[in-house]
Homo-oligomer: A and B are copies of this chain.
Amino acid sequence: METISSAKNERVKSWKKLQTKKGREKTGAYLIEGFHLIDEAVKNQASILEVMISEDLKESATISLPEDKKVLISKEISKQLSETQTTQGIFAVVEKKDSSRIPILEKPYLFLDNVQDPGNLGTMIRTADAAGFGGVVLGKGTVDLYNNKVIRSMQGSHFHIPIFRDELTKWFDLFKNAGFPVYGTELNELAVSYRDIPPQAIFAVVMGNEGNGMDKKLLEKTTKNIYIPITGQAESLNVAIAAGILMFALTK
């Protein structure tokens, strides 16, 4: 196995570039960290380009990848690559896989309009996966899927369900033309409580921006707007919590 010990090595520099959106866009690849995510990547046949293993890590043998993809790195490099406080000392470069082929609509979908917090985005994708959703569509303004905080909070769910980055209006039409409802989430006079919506097999639910909610133009195109009744004094719910409540309540 090759060994790299200088943090000034060109490959180390190329890995560190993947910590930025620009670097990821240029190369079409992103970084993952830790055994769980690398296991998920292997299990789900993601295209793993390189695995970097810290020299103080002994359990590396458990990763079933060809030797020529593995690189041994110094503890110092491992520290520089890590974006967590307690790193496991194992990383991989994975090729981005953008979903673009329009799917057969046979499951519910989550549409995200301008969601900006990486933790919220990752958690919503993980929850959509758990709730048996068919996929997630990231609309305009939504944070980069391959941001390290998004990657961490998804816990591998982007390997399980397709994630699209696309114009939401196109997907609204897709669902509505096929006769499936698209639920917006905004509290307005016409909005109905989610408790009054019967669970169903195929629909889309849209979550909006953390501060400003859904785009007006999208709101006009929804089948119906739903809200979560708040009985206490909190002004609102965190967007990922609201998404979780809705995804589990609306599915059978």
Contact = CB atoms under 8 A, between A and B. Distances in A.
Interface of A: 119, 123, 126-133, 153, 155-157, 160-161, 228, 230-238, 240-242, 244-245, 248-249, 251
6 contacts: A155-B234, A160-B234, A237-B244, A240-B240, A241-B244, A245-B249
A241 to B, nearest CB: 4
Contacts of A231: 130-132, 251
A129 B233 contact: yes
Given A119-B119, A132-B231, A232-B132, A126 B248 contact: no
A233 B160 contact: yes
Given A245-B245, A248-B228, A126 B238 contact: yes
A20 to B, nearest CB: 17
- Chain copies in complex: 2
**Smallest CB-CB A-B distances: 5 pairs:** A132-B231, A130-B234, A241-B244, A160-B233, A129-B234
A237 B160 contact: no
A88 to B, nearest CB: 14
Contacts of A251: 231
Given A244-B244, A245-B248, A249-B248, A129 B238 contact: no
